[in-house]
Amino acid sequence: MKGLNWYISIFILTALYSCSGTKGLKPSDQLFTGTEVQFLDQENISDKNTLNRDIRLSYLKQNTPGLFNIKTWFYNWYDSTGTKGFKHAIKYKMGSEPVIFRKALVRQTENRLQNLLIGSGYLNSEVSCDSIGKKRKVKVVCEVLVNQRFKIDSVFYPSDTLPMTHTLRPMHSIDFLKHGDYLQRKNIIKDRDAFIETAHNNGFPFVSNEDVVFVVDTTVGNNLVDIHLQIRPSSDSTKYERYRYGDIYINPNFSLEYDLPLDTNNMIQKENYKISSGYSFLKEKSLNKAIYIKEGIIYNQSRSRITSKRLLDLGLFKFVNVKTKVNSNNTLDQFFDLTTYKMESITGEIELNNRQGNFLGAVGKVSYINKNLFQGAERFEISLAGGVETQFGDQQPFINTSDITLETSLTVPSIVLPFFSFKTFRNYIPKTFMSLGLNQQIRTGFYTVRSANAKYGFKWNESEYKSSLLVPLDLQWLFVPNTSTEFDSIIADDPRLELSFQNTFVLGWSYEYIYNKRNKFNPINQLYFKGTFESAGNILNGFKHLFYKNPSPTVWGIDFSQFVRLTTDIRKYWAMDVGSFASRFVVGTGFAFGNSTEVPYSKQYSVGGANDLRAFGLRRIGPGSFIPVDPENNINQFIDQTGDIKIELNLEYRFPILGYFKGALFVDAGNVWLYSNQNRPEGVFKFNNFYNEIAVGTGFGLRIDFDFFVLRFDTAFPLRNINNNGNFTWVVNDVNFFDSNWRSDNIVFNLGIGYPF
């Protein structure tokens, strides 16, 4: 580690010396390094955190030289470049142009701060800014006196004689401007937007922001204001008239490349719309589910948007473009131009990883997708996935483990239940899905496991960012057709292992809820939550007790499982000045009861692998402080390092490098535990000790991001690992990239498709 520290120190000193933030500037130029604000009367600020955040967001762009001024260094590398090519990429993609200080920046900063304070209700605030320079760097320093903040006394809405005003007044609720609230520009804008939305959804589509005016009256006194909403007079007599829907045209043959005019005379009249002749690849019944507007009803912008969303939700159309034509009889014709996907596609995935013990694994998957199997937007998918793992060493078989999976699924854009019918949801089309799967896993010289599963369930969206998945029928069969004598001797010493490899039948159900909200102004800022609840065996056990006095815990001679399982996955993404920051926190717990003493092996938790704790191989850590008898080459690595409880935390900083090339620095931590196990007490979860059994790894990655396809290379190594005594210790001081033995024992390479989370 000492040698490594010397190399790092030399690198940093060299970088600091060579990367100058002022290189290439004129002698009279000075760098603008930012803004500093000082409040003189903080006691008058009612919400300091919000005001400070808003002020930071209002700052003028400052110089962003990057680490060790590296971005400025890249920019200054070439004096001039062409409009594209390698030099242009170095200068403008990897580099950042220095921000030169100008005297006008002082006045601009004052104006921005004054405008922000007035918009926050500090109408009598005072701002004074000046510049302070040191060598060739200058910052702007401002002193602010906010004074008293104003509150709302009364809100008055239009009392004119416009028909639109009389129609909308009882429909518009005052939600954002209330007596006693602080005056805030953002709330005035919210109320204006709500008023305009009410107008657009009730037949007045041409009301715009410029037509709605709020007048703030400060003559009330006592730091109070009255707010008057007014409608600006218009020279266009039709602007404030009420409109209805006219003809509705559907053009499913629209091309972005060839935007040809639509021949409305060559259209076929349907019940609620007209469609291009010759169109037959989607059944009328399926298209009707998406159309939420009708000729003759009052124009409603929300209904038009819902129609667009439902058309997209069919999964057949890449783009939906809506055009409007105004008619003299106060009707609006709607044109929906649809650009279709290719209905059939074949995709492939590949993942490579290695782990301690000279293990190398590869997983591949190929899928065929048909988005419109029966001309009703039914999505059919069939995939074949296979994986192998080999261990290099003496007397080892070439294929150590093999796994093959065949899966097929069908998704229908409606709720399909015998003897029942459901109305579709307003904004999105609910879907029914059915799936079948077969799997076989062979561990050479030890065992063969075969499994089959069948699912039937429903998907629906409650809103743009809330979705649910209900699976009322989830069947799984696990068969162990053969095991070796050596394997039998291993599992005979551990009842948990033995139960995990018995023939098992699972009849269960599950519910999954997803909350996925992005910031509409910056989509990188995102909050994601997924909660999954699973239960098995309860309904089957109830039926058996209903019809049998002393029911057996089997179905067709196979034991059936009883368990519950709850898993939560929380992710948060932040945009930064350069790149973004991503985090994930996973907590899961499974509990067996009734007929079962263990959760089925397929439902147990594990950590490690290309999308998990990347510094450790799959099932390489846990449960708790458990250590395999022979961690380098033992069957337990594959079948026993699982648990009933899982805790995992991932942190990742993602940053651009050049063009499609992106980089990442990450830290992963976590482990799995057992609820209880007399044969493995070191693996049992203890609330007062679990934090001492957390494995930690770190690393860096290279991603080739084509937007639609991401190829990921991650290199990781442990920071906190379990030693031979069963204790987790920090191994940071052991890190030595120049030691071949350390690299062989610790560095893990992962190749994957897509981001890990």
Residue 96: per-residue pLDDT: 77
User: Which has the minimum average pLDDT: 23-27, 196-200, 447-451, 657-661?
Assistant: 23-27
Residue 752: per-residue pLDDT: 82
Residue 172: per-residue pLDDT: 81
Residue 354: per-residue pLDDT: 62
| 246 pLDDT more than 70 | yes
User: Which has the minimum average pLDDT: 23-32, 180-189, 281-290, 543-552?
Assistant: 543-552
Residue 610 confidence class, pLDDT cut points 50, 70, 90: confident
Residues of the chain with pLDDT > 90, as a percent, come to: 47
**Mean per-residue pLDDT over the chain, rounded:** 86
Which pairs count as long-range contacts for 183-190, CB under 8 Å and 24+ apart, including other chains?
Answer: 183/121, 183/123, 183/149, 183/150, 183/151, 183/152, 183/216, 183/225, 183/227, 184/119, 184/120, 184/121, 185/118, 185/119, 185/120, 186/119, 188/214, 188/227
The whole-angstrom separation of Cα 695 and Cα 680 is 19
Closest listed residue to residue 638, CA positions, set 609, 675, 670:
609
Is 224:152 a contact under the CB 8 Å cutoff? yes
The whole-angstrom separation of Cα 431 and Cα 57 is 42
Residue 18: per-residue pLDDT: 46
Is 625:643 a contact under the CB 8 Å cutoff? no
More reliable by pLDDT, 3 or 691: 691
| 437 pLDDT more than 80 | yes
Closest listed residue to residue 425, CA positions, set 296, 309, 273:
309
* Strand 645-658, strand 661-673: pairing: antiparallel
List, for residues 415-427, the tens digit of each pLDDT value: 888 766 555 557 7
Residue 17 confidence class, pLDDT cut points 50, 70, 90: very low
Instruction: Give every CB contact of residue 649 below 8 A, 6+ residues apart in sequence.
Output: 583, 584, 585, 586, 668, 669, 670
List, for residues 664-681, the tens digit of each pLDDT value: 999 999 999 999 888 788
Residue 642, both tokens: 């699982």
Residue 50: per-residue pLDDT: 87
List, for residues 534-566, the tens digit of each pLDDT value: 999 877 777 776 777 777 677 777 778 899 999
| 16 pLDDT more than 50 | no
Closest listed residue to residue 685, CA positions, set 695, 673, 697:
673
Residue 62: per-residue pLDDT: 77
DSSP 64: -
Is 537:561 a contact under the CB 8 Å cutoff? yes
Is 651:699 a contact under the CB 8 Å cutoff? no
Rounded to an integer, the average pLDDT of 120-133 is 95
Residue 457, both tokens: 């369930």
State the residue for tokens 């997803």: 514
User: Which has the minimum average pLDDT: 85-94, 242-251, 430-439?
Assistant: 85-94
**What is the DSSP code string of 254-322?**
--SSS-PPP-GGGEEE-SS-EEETT--SS-HHHHHTT----TTSBP-HHHHHHHHHHHHHTT-EEEEEE
Is 342:318 a contact under the CB 8 Å cutoff? no
Residue 147, both tokens: 């004074």
More reliable by pLDDT, 13 or 116: 116
List, for residues 34-63, the tens digit of each pLDDT value: 899 999 999 999 888 889 888 988 888 776
Residues of the chain with pLDDT > 70, as a percent, come to: 90
* Strand 344-355, strand 359-370: pairing: antiparallel
Residue 222: per-residue pLDDT: 93
Residue 255 confidence class, pLDDT cut points 50, 70, 90: confident
Residue 392: per-residue pLDDT: 59
Residue 64: per-residue pLDDT: 66
Is 705:694 a contact under the CB 8 Å cutoff? no
Rounded to an integer, the average pLDDT of 90-110 is 86
List, for residues 483-514, the tens digit of each pLDDT value: 888 888 878 877 777 777 888 888 999 999 99
List, for residues 564-592, the tens digit of each pLDDT value: 999 999 999 998 877 899 999 999 999 99
Instruction: Give every CB contact of residue 278 below 8 A, 6+ residues apart in sequence.
Output: none
Residue 242: per-residue pLDDT: 95
| 633 pLDDT more than 60 | no
Report how far apart, in Å, the C-alpha atoms of 464 and of each of 48, 201, 459 are. Answer: 32, 19, 14
Write phi, then psi, for 576 (nearest 5 degrees).
-125, 175
Residue 82: per-residue pLDDT: 81
